């Protein structure tokens, strides 16, 4: 699924694919390298596990540009969270992990997704409804959770806050969305950490009613919110706006626990499950080379200027056994 998406996409604020190939035991996907790790790692190592308002603006703005591009390609990302935003060596970030993304037949049909997977705590309430019908507005809700977490170091809702909606029809939910879950409020210390403008921005994104939610008509409405007043969008698109964090180059920007990196990468090869002919057939045609695809010999950056697709790539390998594309995400 992810390879099929990525081979049709190229954008500077996405983690782009460059090659895909396989051997007898593994699938390989060569993607942009992210030496700064993911935003979860950087957030965990920030002071008080929080970013400043200006830093958060940079990361939310980048996410919005990536979502605007994906929505223009009739794709819902569907799993927005700090773990899925990767940082390059210069501090710019890229949205990654299209494992549970959904492509509509057309941009106009983006409101018709019925997939139920996602990550609890980031999923919009309408996704929990019977039939799970949702669209662009669900991405806006997740963006609000993401923004809240970047500045406050925690999500605005517990993971199970909307589970009570399960089994409720979308029609019944929309009659009175405020009766489900709970209203986002900033109280106590939280109200001191973020200003009124920021509170208004996040509350508007996390509105339980997808019809009233900031950005429901498109992420451009979010970009035009007062919270972004004076933000240098062109500088970000052109990558001339300085990132708020430049990752250290003398360390691995990833939490390894007690494991030594050499032990991790040089560990003894575990015995792989032998695939049946039927299982192996599922991987027929798993190959991709960006240099041989018309229009993919350059990566589209924010202002449309090309960049070198061979700059900074990493190889992701996986064994050939079939896997659940929703793994590591809650269904």
| Residue 203: both structure tokens together | 């509350």
Report the alpha-carbon distance of residue 280 to residue 192 in Å, rounded: 56
Q: What is the mean pLDDT of residues 184-205?
A: 92
Report the alpha-carbon distance of residue 157 to residue 113 in Å, rounded: 23
Strands 306-307 and 299-300: antiparallel
What integer pLDDT is reported at residue 293 of this predicted model? Answer: 66
What integer pLDDT is reported at residue 269 of this predicted model? Answer: 67
For 39-237, which CATH superfamily applies?
A: Transferase(Phosphotransferase) domain 1 (1.10.510.10)
Q: Does the pTM exceed 0.75?
A: yes
Domain boundaries, the chain: 2-32+254-319, 39-237
Number of H helices, E strands in the chain: 11, 10
- Which positions are catalytic? 79
Band the pLDDT of 322: cuts 50, 70, 90: very low
Report the alpha-carbon distance of residue 136 to residue 222 in Å, rounded: 12
What integer pLDDT is reported at residue 24 of this predicted model? Answer: 82
- pLDDT for residue 305 is more than 80: no
- pLDDT for residue 128 is more than 90: yes
Strands 306-307 and 17-22: unpaired
């Amino acid at each position: 699924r992810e390879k099929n998406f990525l081979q049709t996409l190229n954008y500077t604020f996405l983690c782009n694919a460059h090659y895909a190939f396989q051997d007898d035991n593994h699938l390989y996907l060569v993607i942009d390298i992210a030496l700064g790790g993911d935003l979860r790692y950087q957030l965990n190592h920030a002071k008080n596990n929080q970013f400043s308002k200006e830093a958060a603006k940079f990361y939310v703005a980048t996410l919005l540009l990536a979502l605007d591009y994906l929505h223009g390609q009739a794709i819902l990302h569907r799993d927005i969270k700090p773990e899925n935003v990767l940082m390059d060596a210069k501090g710019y970030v890229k949205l990654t992990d299209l494992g549970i993304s959904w492509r509509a037949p057309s941009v106009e049909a983006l409101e018709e997704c019925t997939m139920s997977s996602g990550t609890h705590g980031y999923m919009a309430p309408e996704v929990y409804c019977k039939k799970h019908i949702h669209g662009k507005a669900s991405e806006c809700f997740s963006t609000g959770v993401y923004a809240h977490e970047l500045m406050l170091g925690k999500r605005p809702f517990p993971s199970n806050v909307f589970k009570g909606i399960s089994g409720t029809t979308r029609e019944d939910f929309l009659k009175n969305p405020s009766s489900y879950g709970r209203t986002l409020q900033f109280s106590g210390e939280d109200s001191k950490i973020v200003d009124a403008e920021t509170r208004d921005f996040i509350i508007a994104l996390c509105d339980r009613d997808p019809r009233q939610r900031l950005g429901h008509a498109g992420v451009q409405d979010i970009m035009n919110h007062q919270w972004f007043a004076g933000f240098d969008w062109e500088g970000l698109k052109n990558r001339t706006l300085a990132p708020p964090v430049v990752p250290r180059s003398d360390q691995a920007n990833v939490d390894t626990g007690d494991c030594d990196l050499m032990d991790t990468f040089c560990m003894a090869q575990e015995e792989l499950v032998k695939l049946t002919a039927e299982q192996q057939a599922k991987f027929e045609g798993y190959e991709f080379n960006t240099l041989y695809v018309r229009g993919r010999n350059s990566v589209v950056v924010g202002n449309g200027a090309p960049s070198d697709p061979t700059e900074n790539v990493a190889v992701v390998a996986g064994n050939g056994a079939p896997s659940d594309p929703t793994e590591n995400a809650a269904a």
